């Protein structure tokens, strides 16, 4: 289940998925004294939230890395390989996706961020409520509030519009 959720967040990038899952399991192992006292649903919630944090850290690291520059126009005109091919469309989509999720972490408080990430990972409101020891209507309210907050952020709105135009949305 964790591997499927990680693959969904990394858009199927195999190496990032495997790194995120192994790092999540390592963190869970280090915190086992805390996790063993939690019920099964709360433990799964902790692990899923940790997975989203691990992936968010990966994206932040990826965003800090310089993007390859395209070749100059004169080189691109004489070379059959287009200079813009240095950055594939898939890489550009991942960067845009990472910017949206980084903005989620920036503009949303902890509980709204966690609930939205769990929802994006495919968990139902009832499942999230059980993991967080709350009721489904609270989860629905938190998801709605998180989405409203994101829609009001101009930086996120621009990136979401770009993703909608050319992405898998």
Report whether pLDDT(137) > 90.
Answer: yes
110/123 Cα distance (integer angstroms) = 18
Query: For residue 169, what pLDDT band results from cuts at 50, 70 and 90?
Result: very low
Give the residue ranges of DSSP H helices in the chain.
Answer: 2-9, 14-30, 32-35, 40-64, 73-78, 89-107, 110-120, 125-132, 136-152, 154-166
pTM of the model: 0.54
- What pLDDT score was predicted for residue 92? 66
Mean pLDDT comparison of 17-26, 52-61, 87-96, 153-162, highest-scoring range: 17-26
* pLDDT tens column, 28-61: 899 888 888 888 888 888 888 888 888 878 777 7
- What pLDDT score was predicted for residue 167? 46
* pLDDT tens column, 54-88: 887 877 777 666 555 554 555 444 444 444 444 55
Q: What angle do CA 146, 150, 151 make, to 5 degrees?
A: 120
Mean pLDDT comparison of 9-18, 19-28, 55-64, highest-scoring range: 19-28
- What pLDDT score was predicted for residue 168? 41
Say which residue, 139 or 101, is predicted with more confidence. Answer: 139
Instruction: Count Cα neighbours of 10 within 13 Å in the Cβ-side half-sphere.
Output: 24
| Average confidence (pLDDT) over 132-155 | 86
Report whether pLDDT(135) > 50.
Answer: yes
- What pLDDT score was predicted for residue 91? 64
């Amino acid at each position: 289940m964790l591997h499927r959720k990680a693959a969904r967040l990394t858009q199927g990038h195999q190496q990032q998925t495997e790194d995120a899952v192994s790092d999540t399991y390592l963190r869970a192992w280090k915190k086992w004294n805390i996790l063993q006292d939690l019920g099964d649903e709360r433990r799964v919630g902790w692990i899923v939230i940790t997975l989203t944090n691990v992936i968010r850290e990966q994206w932040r690291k990826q965003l800090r890395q310089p993007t390859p520059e395209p070749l100059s126009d004169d080189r691109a005109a004489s070379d059959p390989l287009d200079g813009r091919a240095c950055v594939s469309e898939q890489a550009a989509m991942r960067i845009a996706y990472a910017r949206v999720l980084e903005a989620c972490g920036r503009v949303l408080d902890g509980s709204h961020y966690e609930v939205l990430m769990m929802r994006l990972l495919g968990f139902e409101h009832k499942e999230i409520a059980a993991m967080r020891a709350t009721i489904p209507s609270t989860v629905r309210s938190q998801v709605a509030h998180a989405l409203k907050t994101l829609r009001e952020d101009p930086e996120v709105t621009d990136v979401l519009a770009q993703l909608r135009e050319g992405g898998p949305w």
